[in-house]
A and B are shown apart, each in its own frame.
Chain A
Amino acid sequence: MIVTVAVLAASLAVRPVASQDRTYKAHRTADGKPDLNGIWQALNSANWDIQDHSTAPGPWAALGAAGAVPPGQGVVEGDEIPYLPAAAAKKKENFANRWTRDPEIRCYLPGVPRAAYMPHPFQIIQGTKTIMIAYQYAGAVRTIPMDDPGPSPTDSWMGWSAGRWEGDTLVVDVTGFNDQSWFDRAGNFHSDALHVVERYTPRSPDTILYEATIEDPNVFTRPWKMSMPLYRRVEKNAQLLEFKCVELSEELIYGHLRKKASK
C-alpha cells in the first residue's frame, strides 16, 4: 500500500506529457497503474510500407488482386524518412530486392517498432515489476522491466527495453538492436546503432495511441517519428494463436542444400 502511494507520487512528479489533447484517463490496474492489458492490433498497411504508397502489384502475378500491395497513408510524421545519402541508396537497393531480402519472408524476428504493426495481434500482460508484450507473429516476445535494467549486454532482434510511466503513457526506451530487421516490406532499414523510444498512450477504452521515435546516426540525418492507433481485439474469447512460421521459410533458406533426387 505504502509502495503504491510512493510510486504514484513519483509518477506525478515527472514532467508533463507533450501537448496533445489528453482528456481520456485510462482505467487503473489493481496496483494503480494505467491499464494497458489486452490484445491489440494495428489496422493499417504500415507493414507493407511505412510511407504513403499506392496500390501496386505484389510478388506473384498469378495471385492478381489477392497478392497485391494495398494502398495506404503512411505512418511517418511528415512522410519523410531522413536517410543519409549512402543509406538512401541502400534503401533503394533493398526495395528493388524486397521480395527476397525482407527478413519477414524468412520468419525472422520483426524487431521494434515493426512488431507493433505486423498483420497479427499482440498481447500486453502487465505484471508489477515487468510488462510483457507477446506477439502472435513468430512468437516474438519482449519483457519490459519497469526499473532500470542497465545497458544492453548483447545485441538482439527485439532489442533491450527499459520502461517507465509518464502520466498515463508507457514510455519504452529500446537499444541493443542488431542490424538485421527491417521497418517494413519496402526495405526501410537501420543499423545496430538504432535507438527507439516508444510511447503507448491510452486514448479511449479500446484504443491506444502508439508513437515511436527512431534515431540512428549511421543511417538517418536526424530522429524521426511514426504514430498510429492500436485497436483492442474486442471479440469474445480473442486469443493469440500459434504462428510458427519457420517451416514455411525452410525451402527458401535450405532448399539449395537439399539432396537432389538421384538420376
Chain B
Amino acid sequence: MNRGLAGSMGAMTVALALASMTLVRVDGQARSSAAVKAPAKTWSQPRTPDGQPDLQGVWSNAAITPLERPAAFAGREFLTEKELADNEKALQPRTRESAGTEAHYDFLQYGLDPLQAKRASSRRTSLIVDPPDGRIPPLTPEAKKRAAARAEARKQTGPFDGPESRSLGERCILMAGEGPPMLPEAYNSNIQFQQGPGYVAILQEEIHDVRIIPLDGRPHLGPNIRQLMGDSRGRWEGDTLVVDTTNFTDTTNFRGSSENLHVVERFRRVDEETILYEFTVEDPTTWTRRWKAELSMVKTKGPIFEFACHEGNYGLANNLSGARAQEKAAEEAAKRSGK
C-alpha cells in the first residue's frame, strides 16, 4: 500500500466531492437526517444483556458529502432527488497515474474506490448543519496567529526533509478522520462497536485505534495527561449514547484546533441498518463559535481486518528516499553543468 498517496487522497476526496457532488443512493431511497423519521413501528431497539441499546457490529461511515458546503451550493441545505440521481450516474472510478512512469493507482483493484464502499445516501450538501451556512466558523485571532506560525515554521524546512515533515496520517500515527469527531476516510471507512457492562468501545479500522468509553460517570483524566485522540466519557440519554471528549494534545490539530478542543458526539441507532451520528465541536481559542455536523453510518459486513499501517509503511520510507535521490541527482547535475 503506497501510503505516499494517502495525504493527497484526502485532498482528492474533497476535490472530487467539490467538483461533482457525487452522492450515491445505496438502497433506492434517499435519506437525509432531517428526513429520518421515528423508526418503523415493527422495529424495536435491540439491547445488550446489560440493557444498553445495542450498537454492536461493523458500520461504514463512508460518505461523499463534504464536511463544508461548497460555494456552488451556498444557501442550499439539500440537493433535489434528481440532482442526487444525476450525481450517482456521474460517479466515476478513481484512478491515478504518474506521468512518465509505470506507476498507477487503481482504487478499484483493491476494493478501495468510493463506488465500492457501502454508505448512507444523503441529499445534504454538507455534513455541517450548524452554522446554517454549512461552513466551519471563522478562526479566532489567536488561532490565526497559531496557523501563521505553523505555516512559517513549515517554510523553514522542505516537504520531505524527515518524517516530521509529513502528516500524522502518512506517518501512521493518526488518520485525519479518526478524531474524534469521526469523519469519513478515503477508503476502508469502517467502525466497529463493542459493548460490555459499563463500557462502549469504538474501533476504527484506520489505524486500529480503540476508544474505550466508560459509562460510570467518572471524571475525565486530569489536565496533565493529553492524548492525540483525547479522553472520552460516555452516558446514555434514553437511547442516545452521548460521548464527551477532552484532554487533546496540541498536535492533534483538528482543522486548526488547540489542546482546548472539546467534542461531544451523539450516537443513536434509528433502525436495523443505520446509526445517526452527530457531533458538536468547540474550542474558544480556535473558532468564534461552536459547530455541529451529522452523518449516518450503515451496517456493513465484517470483520474489520488488521490495519497494520506503521508495520507496512513503505510509502513514507519511499517518499523520503525518493526525495534524497532527487536531491542527489540535482546536485550531480549542478556539478556537471558547473564544470
Contact = CB atoms under 8 A, between A and B. Distances in A.
A25 interface: no
B162 to A, nearest CB: 4
A156 B199 contact: no
Given A108-B310, A132-B203, A143-B194, A259 B158 contact: yes
Nearest to A181: B311
Interface of B: 48-51, 56, 158, 160-164, 171-174, 192, 194-199, 201, 203, 207-210, 212, 214, 218-219, 221, 225, 227-229, 303-306, 308, 310-311, 316-317, 320-321, 323-324, 327
A30 B51 CA distance: 9
17 contacts: A29-B49, A30-B48, A127-B48, A128-B49, A129-B56, A130-B194, A139-B208, A239-B214, A239-B221, A244-B173, A250-B171, A254-B163, A254-B320, A258-B163, A259-B160, A259-B161, A259-B323
Given A29-B49, A31-B49, A254-B317, 11 more contacts: A29-B50, A30-B197, A107-B310, A109-B308, A125-B196, A127-B56, A127-B196, A141-B203, A141-B210, A143-B192, A153-B305
A259 B324 contact: yes
A242 B231 CA distance: 9
Contacts of A246: 171-173, 310
Contacts of A237: 218-219
Given A141-B208, A240-B212, A250-B163, A258 B304 contact: no
Contacts of A96: none
A223 interface: no
Contact of B212 (A125, A158, A244): A125
A257 interface: yes
Nearest to B56: A127
Given A254-B320, A257-B320, A259-B162, A242 B228 contact: yes
Contacts of B229: 242
B327 A259 contact: yes
- Interface-centre pick from B203, B212, B317, B321 (highest chain A CB count, 10 A): B212
A148 interface: no
Given A31-B49, A132-B210, A157 B311 contact: yes
A37 interface: yes
Interface string A96-139: 00000000000111000000000000011111111010100001
A126 B198 CA distance: 11
B303 A157 contact: no
Q: Which 6 A-B pairs have the closest CB atoms?
A: A30-B49, A257-B320, A31-B49, A125-B196, A242-B227, A156-B306
Interface in A129-169: 129-130, 132, 134, 139-141, 143, 145, 149, 153-154, 156-158
Contacts of B228: 242, 244
Interface string A237-253: 10111101011011001
A173 B317 CA distance: 35
Contacts of A128: 48-49, 56
Contacts of B208: 139-141
Given A37-B196, A109-B308, A259-B160, A134 B317 contact: no
B206 to A, nearest CB: 12
A37 B197 contact: yes
B320 A258 contact: yes
B209 to A, nearest CB: 5
Nearest to B218: A237
A182 B201 CA distance: 28
Contacts of A108: 310-311
